[in-house]
Amino acid sequence: MNVIAFVVVVCCCSSTLGFLFSTCNNNSDCKNGGSCEGVDGFKSCDCKPNYFGTYCEIDPGHICDSDRCHTHGRCDVLLFPPYYFCHCEHGYHGLDCQDAPATQPTTTLPSTPSTTITIIQTTPTTTLPTPTTTILSTTPTTLIQTTPTTTMPQKSHLTDKITTPPNIVITTTDTPTTTFNQTTPTVSTTTELHMHTDTPRCSKYKTDFYIAGNVISHNALASVCPKSGNHSSPEAFVLDHCTLTNADPKGWKIGHQVMANCAAVPPYTPVIETFGTYSPNTHRSGIFLECLPEPDGFKIAYQPCDSAPTIENVSSSEAQLFYTVN
């Protein structure tokens, strides 16, 4: 449900928010009952109370109607174009919160091809010559002839044993068989996530919008600026733009040291300067934007007291004192 926040200052007299240049020719050019006043070249619409804009066309009571933020944010009224601001839910962005969160791309690793190695071993055959054995005796002559033919594998061990009566005994010992087990190498791929995931986040769109429009943040929980007494200190800028677990700056604690691993700090992360316990009177707070080439430090969005926010470069010597907010 959209929440309408009225920030329009209502006067007891007619509004004079029209612009002092020729914007109207007659009363019909001015909307919502406004009147065209002034001299040639310096005419403007004099708006009735509660209306403003060049032609009194802005009705703060209805500018946030008609599902202005697409049910994904809260609509607030502004006194300058575009006259409203949508506080988008986490992940949604765009002027009217019309852009959905970006989906993380899926990376598919190529499959590891398997390699098959085939070992072919050939065993040549060895043919032994045919032995002939002749035995003489006083008895009738008997000729005994054995003609064994043996095919042996390579590197076989052959033992011949001759006994009486003559017989040839051949003992064969087979060559042991060796089995090769082919294994396919396995490739392991590990993807390491380098970004910190336990740090608060700040609104990129709102931060950029306030910097571009020179809009000063005010927050009742922020420390008071010494000269004006307003709650428009650097903490107000962080509180208005970031989603923090502890909204009271007095309870802020330090997290990761920024320069210990600058690349691991996500853009638009709240950071504080401290060398011990954080104190709003002696330390700065802001929104981390990006790392600078070593050894130069990093960029930060920062709002000085009672001043519009700006982007500053934090030098390497000062950068060592900055931590993320927990």
Q: Whole-structure pTM over 0.95, yes or no? A: no
pLDDT confidence of residue 123: 54
In the chain, which residues have pLDDT < 50? 1-20, 132-144, 146-147, 149-153, 155-173, 179-180, 183-193
Torsion angle of C-alpha atoms 104, 106, 107, 112, degrees rounded to 10? 150
Q: Which helix (H) or strand (E) covers residue 114, if one does? A: none
Instruction: For the domain covering 196-326, report its CATH number.
Output: 3.90.1720
pLDDT tens digit sequence for 185-220:
443 333 344 889 999 999 999 999 999 999 999 999
**Common-topology check for domains 1-98 and 196-326:** no
Euclidean distance between CA atoms 52 and 75, whole angstroms: 18
What's the farthest any 2 CA atoms get from each other in the chain?
A: 162
Instruction: For the domain covering 1-98, report its CATH number.
Output: 2.10.25
Q: Which helix (H) or strand (E) covers residue 213, if one does? A: helix 204-213
pLDDT confidence of residue 43: 87
Instruction: Give how far Cα 232 sits from Cα of 1, 161, 175, 288, Å.
Output: 29, 112, 93, 19
CB 193 within 8 A of CB 263: no
pLDDT confidence of residue 176: 53
pLDDT confidence of residue 72: 86
pLDDT confidence of residue 267: 96
Please state the domain extents for the chain: 1-98, 196-326
Coil, strand, or helix at residue 153? Answer: coil
